[in-house]
Amino acid sequence: MDNAITVSLISPNVVRTHVGRERRSSFAVVKEGESGGEGPIVAVAENTVSARFSDTEERVSYEASGERIVIRGELGPFDKVYGLGEKALPLNRKRHRVIMWNTDAYGYATGTDPLYVSIPFFIVLRNGRAVGHFVDSPAYMSIDLGQTDFGEFTVVVDDESVDHYIIYGPSIKDVLRSYFELTGRPFLPPKWALGNQQSRYSYYPETNLLAIVDRYRRDGLPLSAVYLDIHYMDGYKIFTWDRKRFPDPKSLIDKLHEAGIRVVTIIDPGVKTSPTYPVFRSGIDGNYFCLRRNGDLFTSRVWPGLCAFPDFARDDVRNWWSSLVADFVKDGIDGVWLDMNEPAGFDYKDHTVSDDDLMHVVDGRQVPHARIHNAYALLEAEATYEGMLKARPGKRPFILSRAGYAGIHRYAAIWTGDNTSSWEHLRLQIPILLGLSLSGVPFVGADVGGFAKNTKQGRFYLDPELLIRWYEVAIFTPLLRNHTSIDSPDQEPWAWGSAYEGIIRGLLKLREELMPYIYSLAWGSHELGEPIIRPLVYEFQDDDNVHEIDDEFMLGPYVLLTPALERGSTVRRAYLPKCKWLDVRMGSEVEGGAVTTIDVPLGNPPVLVREGGVVPMMRESLIALIYPGNGEFTIYEDDGESMGEPSKLTIRQELKGSVSRIEVGKRGPDSFNTWVTLSIYTKNKPKRFLIDGSPAQYSARGSFIEATVKPGSAVELELGD
Ligand code: MIG
């Protein structure tokens, strides 16, 4: 029956309603869970489902009409709505209507919709409680969040069946954790992927690439990886090399590895339809490409000319693709960059394939492209991930993808595509990245310096001030990669001379110092399902003042960034959530709960640490910056690229009256054995300082005192007044 509604309890906090025809297998959900016993009270009346959780009730109605399903729920006047993946909109999506349709959005602007990634998962915050809604369909979908009717959200899915999950919090953290239980854990990145990376469309021939690497080294700029864009290929044919530009890829990669630099190559999905090209021939022989309704090969023009498109929805096709990837990366390629995977096609409006005639095969049945469009990149990423694993067993794959759907976090990082070199985009990237983070994609970043439309005469152009401001944001985001378009002037850190380069060097070094913190956050995203960068509402849900803030953000639980986002600014205003904050640059405390004016001198971005904060950093040795209060942080350490268990060290602190106790986790089978220098903020000289109960020495450094302790130690100090 077309209108059947089936309600299942997935876990005590998750209710699933299936609407429409028979269930299809989901590309996003990996584990549905089984829940007996406790849970919400669910009532079904006609086409309405009510789920009563401990302190809130969700009522949702469904209409199915064969080709289209409509889901309606309530929105209260003060509700906030977060999530929905990559959207060039404010963090709070209330009063917007958005489309789920992965699109090649070259040079997009504020408000452009849709972009490359579609994640039909949103979180409603009402009276302090968060409830998530995940509408699991990769088909075309529109989501109206109180735009047409202020009191209602309406989801229209162009599909014959859909699963709708209601995910109760009450915290946003809880909603995200349940979402990850359904859709799987975020992939664990190799450590180098959190380092500084350099790209361009395109570095070739190999002497040019080596010159870039050499310049980085000579100028003392940290660099972890370089990217090869489409010109490394022979006529843009994927899984090939242009042997004139890159005569011996293996020895080039070996040479880069010796210098400690990783190599990431771009791969597009389209396969050139050339009878002499082995990849095309094997795709034809295996019948691995998408066909038209009438059985003809489906083709569209992309970079190489006319291309065929692998049908990634099929297991055998993903297998074939993963073997191609495995074979290609086995000579040492460290990461794969998946572009054009919306999929893009030059013969279509918006450069994006959308063709009623294009068919896929899902579960042995023909399915029109529009029904699974948004999952194309996810399935490609899954196959690519498998391929990297095949070639490098036990080593973490790294994939950077442009498009994606719910579940993409299991396999790939996302960058925000073809942004522009503009102040508008510097500002816009923050809500986009935060929106992705709240939609379950922790590993995100934007092209530093901007990608598109950067011409000296045009409306958009990059200058050193904007580039530096951009680095001031990007060094605190998971993916840190400078990349630009084929027609842009150079924008490497040295492009405007040594004074500016020196400032950028300082910022890149700050990033390196923060690596123990950032790397541990990446582990935390994998193990605990917490985003790496977070909007303030994630950490301070009860502080109404932060619900709409998207020009500030948190890196992990303790570091607050209030970057300069306007040309010529020397100060900015920022709201600091209700607690005490330590301005690390100034070594001074700031009381939160109010809007404050903060200095933003070029090259010295404000870094505010939350009361109770523990922030591990690497200087000559491991340091933990401690701002007395209540808090803890687990530091993860390992070789940075194998799949094994990490070592962990938890630093916990507690403040009672004026007595602060800091415990450096015990050494255990899985903890590491490094001594840690505690760098503790103390306004005045402490009255007492004990290590393991005995008076001990410390050294003073400005408003910090420092002592180096071994794992298993406890420090106690009485703060001076
Ligand atoms: O149509 O591979 O977003 O990062 O440099 C352009 C060339 C294709 C788009 C990507 C961009 C990349 C470019 N690609």
Q: Which of 125, 136, 154 is nearest to 18 (CA)?
A: 136
Confidence of residue 666 (pLDDT cuts 50, 70, 90): confident
Q: Is the CB–ligand 1 distance for residue 229 below 6 Å?
A: yes
Q: Which homologous superfamily does the CATH classification assign to the domain defined by 611-720?
A: Golgi alpha-mannosidase II (2.60.40.1180)
Segment 135-141 mean pLDDT: 98
472 is catalytic: no
Checking if the pLDDT of 32 tops 90, the result is no
Residue 451 C-alpha to ligand 1 middle, in angstroms? Answer: 9
339 is catalytic: yes
Residue 489 C-alpha to ligand 1 middle, in angstroms? Answer: 16
Mean pLDDT of the chain: 95
Q: What digits encode the pLDDT tens for the residues 382-431? A: 999 999 999 999 999 999 999 999 999 999 999 999 999 999 999 999 99
Confidence of residue 356 (pLDDT cuts 50, 70, 90): confident
The pLDDT value recorded for residue 34 is 67
CATH architecture of the region 5-183: Sandwich (2.60)
Segment 596-601 mean pLDDT: 97
Lowest model confidence (mean pLDDT) among 126-140, 512-526, 658-672: 658-672
Instruction: Label residue 457 left, alpha or beta by phi (over 0 means left) and psi (-120 to 50 means alpha).
Output: alpha
Residue 434 C-alpha to ligand 1 middle, in angstroms? Answer: 23
Q: What digits encode the pLDDT tens for the residues 451-486? A: 998 777 667 789 999 999 999 999 999 999 999 999
- 3-state secondary structure string across 533-554: EECHHHHCCCCHHHCCCCCCEE
Q: Is the CB–ligand 1 distance for residue 266 below 6 Å?
A: yes
Which of 204, 229, 348, 353 to mutate to test ligand 1, by most ligand atoms within 8 A of the CB atom? 229
Segment 151-171 mean pLDDT: 97
Q: Is the CB–ligand 1 distance for residue 417 below 6 Å?
A: yes
Q: At 546, give phi and psi (nearest 5°).
A: -100, -5
C-alpha 481, offset from chain centre: 13
Q: How many whole angstroms separate alpha carbon 546 and alpha carbon 431?
A: 13
Percent of the chain with pLDDT over 90: 91
Confidence of residue 37 (pLDDT cuts 50, 70, 90): low
Every domain range in the chain assigned CATH 2.60.40.1760: 5-183
Ligand 1 atom with minimal separation from the 485 CA: 5
Selected catalytic residue, list 79, 113, 136, 418: 418
Checking if the pLDDT of 50 tops 90, the result is yes
Check if the beta carbon of residue 338 is closer than 8 Å to that of residue 400.
Answer: yes
Confidence of residue 3 (pLDDT cuts 50, 70, 90): low
Selected catalytic residue, list 136, 339, 492, 637: 339
Q: Is the CB–ligand 1 distance for residue 351 below 6 Å?
A: no
The pLDDT value recorded for residue 716 is 98
End-to-end Cα separation, the chain, in angstroms: 73
Question: How many CB atoms are located within 10 Å of the residue 243 CB?
Answer: 10
Q: What digits encode the pLDDT tens for the residues 236-282? A: 999 999 999 999 999 999 999 999 999 999 999 999 999 999 999 99
Percent of the chain with pLDDT over 70: 98
The pLDDT value recorded for residue 1 is 47
Checking if the pLDDT of 2 tops 60, the result is no
Which of 340, 419, 454 to mutate to test ligand 1, by most ligand atoms within 8 A of the CB atom? 340
Q: What digits encode the pLDDT tens for the residues 489-535? A: 999 999 999 999 999 999 999 999 999 999 999 999 999 999 999 99
This prediction has a pTM of: 0.97
Q: Which of 703, 648, 653 is nearest to 679 (CA)?
A: 703
Q: What digits encode the pLDDT tens for the residues 607-633? A: 999 999 999 999 999 999 999 999 999
Q: Is the CB–ligand 1 distance for residue 402 below 6 Å?
A: yes
Every domain range in the chain assigned CATH 2.60.40.1180: 611-720
Per DSSP, helices labelled H in 286-394 are 315-329, 369-372, 376-391
The pLDDT value recorded for residue 152 is 97
242 is catalytic: no
Q: Which of 301, 373, 376 is nearest to 338 (CA)?
A: 376
Neighbouring-strand partners of residue 691: 694, 715
Segment 704-717 mean pLDDT: 96
Segment 282-288 mean pLDDT: 98
Confidence of residue 370 (pLDDT cuts 50, 70, 90): very high
The pLDDT value recorded for residue 520 is 98
Segment 164-176 mean pLDDT: 98
Ligand 1 atom with minimal separation from the 199 CA: 5
